[in-house]
Amino acid sequence: MSIVPSSSQDSYNLNTVQTTNKLKDLICRKKSLESEGDVIVKELITQPEEGIPPMGVNTPLIDSEGYPRADIDIYRARLLRKRFAEIKTDLKQITKQIEQGLADISSPDSTENEKAEMASRREPKPKPKFDPITKKWVVKNWDGTMAGVQGGENRNFDNLTSQPLLALEEVSSLSLSDQNAVQIRPQNDVQNRRPEELPQPFAVIDEVNPNSPAQSAGLIKGDLIVKFGSLDYSNHRNLQALAKAVADAAAKQSGIPVTLLRPSNEATRNSMCRNSKVTISIYPKIWDGHGMLGCHIQKMSE
């Protein structure tokens, strides 16, 4: 998976290839260590044919009188236990490196984006303004949206006269004072929309690589993402949260449910009236191509 915007796509692709190759080596090493550890544990806990107790992973190597056990190979037991402890330590370090590599592939610019967000949050906030539409005082969020009124996350604090059009069923969820202030879509527009087609997409799939996890899951070019796991247009944080969800799912080897609006053809990509709703599950993983999904996801413009 790759995410737009990015000012250095070529550099990102090179870093992604290098990180992917490193991850493959780490995963191979992790599997090798796990196999070696399984063999050691099996030898330590397997009871000898003579019926004597096994060496054990952490059981005492002395008898009830405090002498070294005479029924087992003490040197062998200590050697195996020492190696098993080393394997556990190495596995912890490798697991951390794999998790970090997965996060780097999913969101190569996450650190810079987070710094930019923190800088924006720390900037002095402007004074509250009176919203002529809802007749309420509102304040500015760090991302330029409004706080203080319902639906303010979809409006621009610097342009209080703009108001997103709402369907009748959306207006019914507002307070009485807000219902009198919002603009309502024409009735024929509401009638042309089925209820399941109303969710707002926040990203678009503009490329799907062959033989990728995205293609295996059924993603196609032009799909509009409405929900990605628990994420939607209100909480994806400029796609950073989506990248983190991909990395977490890859680390856990779990799937992510994705709800899409699929245009009937390329010409109607932006026509919500002619989209069909599709739900799939995608399993992020390391594969032969770039990223862990094998598709290009771009944030939709406002």
State if pTM tops 0.75.
no
- % of the chain at pLDDT higher than 90: 25
For residues 33 and 162, give the distance between their C-alpha atoms in angstroms, rounded to a whole number: 60
pLDDT of 103: 74
Confidence of residue 228 (pLDDT cuts 50, 70, 90): very high
- The answer to whether residue 176 scores a pLDDT higher than 70 is no
User: Can you tell me the distance from the alpha carbon of 234 to that of 72, in angstroms, rounded to the nearest whole number?
Assistant: 64
Q: Is the pLDDT of residue 124 over 80?
A: no
- In angstroms, the CA 184 to CA 193 distance is 14
pLDDT on residue 248:
84
- Nearest by Cα to 7 from 97, 103, 116: 116
Q: Which of 4-13, 73-82, 149-158 has the highest mean pLDDT?
A: 73-82
User: Sign (positive/negative) of CA torsion 74, 80, 83, 88?
Assistant: negative
What is the per-residue pLDDT across 231-290, written as a single tens digit (0 to 9) for each?
A: 998 888 888 888 888 888 888 888 999 999 887 654 444 444 456 889 999 999 888 877
**CA end-to-end span of the chain:** 22
Q: Please, how many CA atoms are within 13 Å of residue 204, restricted to the half-sphere of its CB?
A: 12
Say which CATH superfamily domain 196-299 falls into: PDZ domain (2.30.42.10)
The pLDDT assigned to 118 comes to: 66
Is the pLDDT score of 1 beyond 80?
Answer: no
pLDDT of residue 140: 81
Find out whether the peptide bond into 48 is cis, omega within 30 degrees of 0.
no
b/e 158-182 (16+ beta carbons within 10 angstroms → b): eebeebeebeeebeeebeeebeebb
pLDDT for the residue 195: 44
Top-confidence residue, 136 or 194:
136
| Rounded-to-10 torsion of CA 279, 233, 103, 253 | -20
- The pLDDT of residue 258: 94
Provide Rg for the chain, Cα atoms: 28
Torsion of CA 298, 234, 201, 204, to 10 degrees: 10
Binning pLDDT at 50, 70 and 90, where does residue 40 land? very high
